[in-house]
Structure formats: structure tokens, C-alpha cells
Chains A and B, each alone.
Chain A
Amino acid sequence: MGLSAVLYAQTTGSAGPVFVDDIDPMQYPRALILLLGAMGALLAGKGFLARAERTDMPLFTRHTLGVMAVLILYAAFFITLGFFITSVLACLGIALIMGYRRLPLLAGASVLSVVLIWLMYVYILRIPLPSGSLF
């Protein structure tokens, strides 16, 4: 419901159709947002009536939050630091968070895999990858 309120606010700034026969560009998303809000309200109502469900693990733990942080940093520095450094660091970070502790094997596997992926993209698939400001 909160999401639909935020999204609905986004659709209110439009000036509407220019000509009488034009289609209002916000009409369709607005209808979807209202439907989303109504469904959300229905879900909330059902939630109040139903018994609380117990889940086997919490939504956020230090592991999930850690992996999310690694992924966000990976995306943020992908261009600045380049593909190679960010990818190796992301591989190492995720594996370490998931409890892998054989560091020499992990470092070797991460570097080798990233080099292979880089060679495949750049030389075989001919897709240029960001090299970063360090190189």
C-alpha cells in the first residue's frame, strides 16, 4: 500500500493529454497502482485475520545483509574500479560471507575464473568491459 502511494505520487505531476483524442500516458499506470493498492489492502486484511506464520530463518541476517552490501558496492564501483578488480573482490566477498575459508584456493579460483570470463567477453564475444581508472 505504501509502495502504491509512492508510485501514485509519481503519476500526479503529468499535464495530461495535449489533444482531446490523445491517450493520457498516466492513465494506465495509475489504474495499475490503484489495483496494487487495493490488493495490498486485501492482503493486509487477510494478514490481520490469519495466524502469524513462523519462518525457518529471519528476513535479514548478517549474511544476507553482507551479500547485499557486496552486490551494491560491486554495482557502484563497476565502472570506477573496472570489471577485473570489482569482480574478483565480489567473488571473494560473497564466498567469505558464505563461510568459505580456504583462502589460497578461493583467491586462485576467483582470479582464474574472472580472467577466463574477461577473455571470453572481450575476445570471443567482443563485448568491451570497463577497465577502470586504475589501469
Chain B
Amino acid sequence: MDMIIAAFAEVLSPVALCMNLMGVMIGMIIGALPGLGSVVAISICLPFTFGMQPLQAMALLLGVYCGSNCGGSIAAVLINTPGTPQAAATSIDGYPMARMGKGGEAIGWALASSIFGGLFSCVILVFAAPTVASFALHFGPLETFGLILMGLTCISSVSGKNQLKGLIAGILGLLLACVGMSPFTPDARLTFGLYALDGGMDTVAIIVGVFAISEVIDRSERIFHEKASSVLSIRSLRMPPLGMYRERMWNLVKSSIIGTIVGILPGTGATTAAFVAYGEAQRSSPRRDKFGTGEPDSIIAAESANNAVTGGALVPSLALGIPGDPVTAIMLATFILHGITPGVRLMVDNPGVVYGIFVALAVANVLMWPCCHATTKIFNYLLKTPEPILMGLIAVLCVLGSYGARGNVNDVAVTVGAGVFAYMLRRCGFPMPPIVIGLVLGQQFEMSIGQMILYKGDMPWLDYILNSPIATGLFIVTAFIVCVPMIRRLLAARTGEAARQGQQNS
């Protein structure tokens, strides 16, 4: 307890607090720019930490991490362009809410859920870091496959009435993830002989194209068919009243748990967490029929899960010295730069720094509230621009976002190509989120299948699966997620038919 109080005193000192605030603000602005995610934001800030104390440096980077995770949702809600891949699930209901004139509320839900998810994962981090980290070590290829399969099932839930088209879009996403070198052999696949594609297609470039460029092309014609301008504007960010949380509290807690668990597992990340939580919310929410039309439940699920990843991802990093994703890898590098060796001895050798990190993460989550207000105001000014000029600027920002992520001009061509292709698909009624889900989970999915085949050897499949209680549990949950809506639809159809027959008889 003394350690935590001392950590609070250190993190709340003017310099550390200032660094934390600056980090959240920078992260939020960069996160809101299409294409520039958490990794870019943290990489930009890393050189500034060289002259700082370790805790001040971590306060800055943790602020950037949390801020960029939340900032992506502002662009996702207001211009249907997820600033970061993890915000892609937020735009599914956030943008329809904004189009109904509830943009301020949508961002309010996103912010409140992000803060809750972040703080929830902080608590887990403080009390369960070593225990939970050792649980993550039991995750092999089979367990990872089970988890990703569970994530892929939400393709069905984001497809709405177009299940077949949603599945086709999901397969297209999985195929896009295959482009480039095979993860197992030095063979280039689906590159059409273009060497530029040997390294694969950048996820950010495709996401920006699929969501934003296709929207620009679509708006170029729709603007002549709609009477009122659809440029969205919000007066201010509106936090949802406390009473509205009562019926959504379980969704908030459940999604935060999903986000924290997914964050702890190496190699998964915030995007997977957001879609797994979205799928689960879509399955269990009493308002599931309204998903895709502007339902806050989906924003709550996606945002609380993607921000809960921040604390979860730090669990294996701090307790075991294993970075779960590129962001935590940069953070571990920052430790080493400041003479601190991450790993199992970190909590014993430097407890002050570790508790300082816990507290800095919690404070960064609280600081998101004023920073999000400020970023939303900046965006509001941007949205007052006439729509044709705004669409031009969005196209420029998208192209820059895809170019800036890797400094590769081929990514610009990928963005434009993906945008044109996605426009044609969406006009033919294909939903866009399944493409992103397939794309994001595709590489890990293929990798886990390959590893599973190699690990299994000659063992029968059933024995191999039953040997792992975690994997068995994940497969049962996945089967449950797939079967329950089908059974529910069948029962509803039967009830409807019985009611019709009853009416005819009477």
C-alpha cells in the first residue's frame, strides 16, 4: 500500500503529470488522424524521452498509448474513417449515430467506455499481474486458433441481413491477408508477379481505403441526391447520463474482461479484442436487432475492450518481459534505454517504477476525459468546412496516412485500389466490417493453423484438442456463439408460423 501511495505522489508531481497530459493529447490527435496508429504515435514520442526520468518517460508513453487508442474513435464516429484499426468496430454504430445527429453522444459513450475499460485493466494489472501472466504462457497455437476462430465468428454478427455477402467479404479479407510471402516458406502468394506485393499489403492502407476512400467516392454522387448536407457537426461531447449505464453495465464489464484477457495474450491486440467484444455484445445484448443502426451497446463493447487491452498488454511485458505487441515492445525498449531490465525480477528490483506505471496508466485514462473534449472541439471546427472541401481533405489525409505508416508509395496505390474495389462492393450490398475482420485476424489465423499442424504431429485431432482444456473451452464457446442465433431464428420462425396458423384457424 505504501508503494502505491508513493507512486501516486510521484506520478502526480507537476512534471510527470504534465508529461502524462501531453502524451494523452498527442496520442489522441495522432490517433484521430487516419492511418497513424499507436505505434507511430509512440515512435514519434520515443526520442523525447531520452533526457527524462524513467517514470516521466513511461508517463508520456502510456499517455500516448491510451490517447491514441481512444482518439481513433473520434474520426471513426464523425467521418466514418477509423483513425486506428482498433476503432474500426466503433464506426459500425458510431457513424450511424452521428448521422442521426447524435455524434456528441456517440463520442461520449466511446470516451466513457474507454475510461472504464482502461481503469478496469489497471486494477487487473495491479492485483493479478504475475498470476495472469503465467496463465498466458499456457496459450499455444491451438489455443490461439480457438481464440481467433471466436473472433472470426463476429463476421456473422456484423453482416446483418446479408449473411452470405458478409461471409464472402470475410473470405476476401482473409485472402487479402494472404498476399505476400507465406509465413512458413519463402513463397510469394497472390502477388500477380508484382515484387512490390512480396512484403504483403499494409493493414492500415487497406482499412483506410475500405472505409474512407470508398466513402469519399460514394459521397461524390450521393451529395446530389440528398437535400440536406450530411456533413456532420456536433455542438460538444455529451457524456451519457449515469442512469443509462445501469442496463448496459454488464456489457461494459464483460467487454472490459475480454479486452484485458486478449491484451494479456501475446500477438493478438486491440483490434481482435474490439471485434471479439463486439461479437459477444451482438450475441447477448437485448438490443441486438438495432446493431449497425446506431446502438450504443456496440460502441461500449468495442471501446471498453480496445482500451482494456492497454493494461492487459502490460501484464506479460512487466511480469515476464515478453512484449505482446509492437507498442509494448517499444515500451520495453524504453525501459532498457533507462537502465531498467524488464522481466521476472522487475517487480522485485524496481517496485517503485512498476507501481508508478500502474498509477500513470490509471491517471492517463482519467486525463482522456478533458483531452477528448479538446480534440472533439478541434474536429468540430474541421466539420464546419463545406462537404466537397472536407471530402477532398479526407482523401488527402487518407493517402498521407497510408504513405506515412511505412513511407512506402505502394501503400498509396493499395489504399486507392482498395477504396475503388470497396466502393463497388458496398454499392452491391456487401458489408465492409467483415473485410477488416478477415484482414486483421487472417495472418494470425493462418499462422496458428500451420503451427497447430506441425505441433500435432501424428496425434489424432480429437486427442490433440481434448488435451487442452483452454482450447476445448474456447471451441465450445465458439460453437455456442454460432449455434444460439441460428436456434433463436428457427424458434422465432416457428413461433411466427404457429401464430399465423392460429390466426387462420380463428
Question: Which residues of A come within 8 Å of B, CB atoms?
Answer: 7, 10-11, 14, 17-18, 21-23, 25-26, 28-29, 32-33, 35-36, 39-40, 42-43, 46, 55-57, 59, 61, 63-64, 66-68, 70-72, 74-75, 78-79, 83, 87, 90-100, 106, 109-110, 113-114, 117, 121, 125-130
Contacts and interface: CB of A to CB of B under 8 A. Distances in A.
Contacts of B407: 127-128
**5 tightest A-B contacts by CB?**
A25-B182, A91-B392, A98-B388, A100-B388, A95-B388
A64 B387 CA distance: 15
B168 A40 contact: yes
Interface string B391-434: 11101110110011001010011011001100110011000000
Given A26-B189, A95-B391, A96-B388, 20 more contacts: A14-B187, A22-B184, A25-B182, A56-B225, A64-B220, A71-B217, A71-B420, A75-B412, A75-B415, A90-B392, A93-B392, A95-B392, A97-B388, A98-B223, A99-B388, A106-B388, A113-B389, A125-B30, A125-B44, A128-B407
A40 B403 CA distance: 33
A110 B343 CA distance: 51
B175 A33 contact: yes
Interface stretch (B74-82, B289-297, B359-367, B446-454): B446-454
A69 B171 CA distance: 28
B388 A75 contact: no
B128 interface: no
B164 interface: yes
Contacts of B195: none
A28 B446 contact: yes
Contacts, number: 171
B185 A18 contact: yes
A12 B416 CA distance: 28
B174 interface: yes
Contact of B413 (A23, A26, A75, A128): A75
B185 A25 contact: yes
Nearest to B191: A10
B192 interface: yes
B35 to A, nearest CB: 11
A74 B416 contact: yes
Contact of A98 (B164, B172, B219, B385): B219
A125 B404 contact: yes
Given A94-B388, A100-B389, A32 B171 contact: yes
23 contacts: A17-B185, A23-B184, A26-B187, A26-B189, A28-B446, A36-B172, A39-B167, A55-B427, A64-B220, A67-B220, A68-B420, A71-B420, A74-B395, A78-B409, A78-B412, A87-B396, A90-B395, A95-B391, A100-B388, A109-B385, A113-B396, A114-B396, A117-B397
A110 B164 contact: no
A60 B192 CA distance: 27
B165 interface: yes
Contact of B403 (A7, A64, A78, A93): A78
Interface residues of B, number: 64
B127 interface: no
Contacts of B386: 95, 100
B302 interface: no
A129 B449 CA distance: 39
Contact of A79 (B182, B187, B409, B416): B409
B494 interface: no
Among A55, A64, A66: residue with most chain B CB under 10 A:
A64
Nearest to A42: B164
A5 to B, nearest CB: 13
B345 interface: no
Contacts of B178: 28-29, 32
B392 A63 contact: no
Interface string B94-116: 00000000000000000000000
B220 to A, nearest CB: 4
Contact of A7 (B175, B388, B393): B175
A12 to B, nearest CB: 12
B30 A39 contact: no
B287 interface: no
A113 B382 CA distance: 10
B416 A75 contact: yes
A117 B168 contact: no
Given A46-B164, A72-B416, A11 B223 contact: no
A21 B457 CA distance: 9
B412 A23 contact: no
Given A32-B174, A98-B223, A10 B189 contact: yes
- Residue of A14, A29, A94 contacting most chain B CB atoms (<10 Å): A94
Contacts of A36: 168, 171-172, 175
A32 B220 CA distance: 34
Interface string B34-74: 00100010001000000000000000000000000000000
Contacts of A55: 427
Nearest to A71: B416
A64 B221 contact: yes
A25 B395 contact: no
A61 B449 CA distance: 44
A32 B218 CA distance: 29
Contacts of A83: 400
B417 to A, nearest CB: 8
Given A128-B407, A130-B409, A98 B220 contact: yes
B216 interface: yes
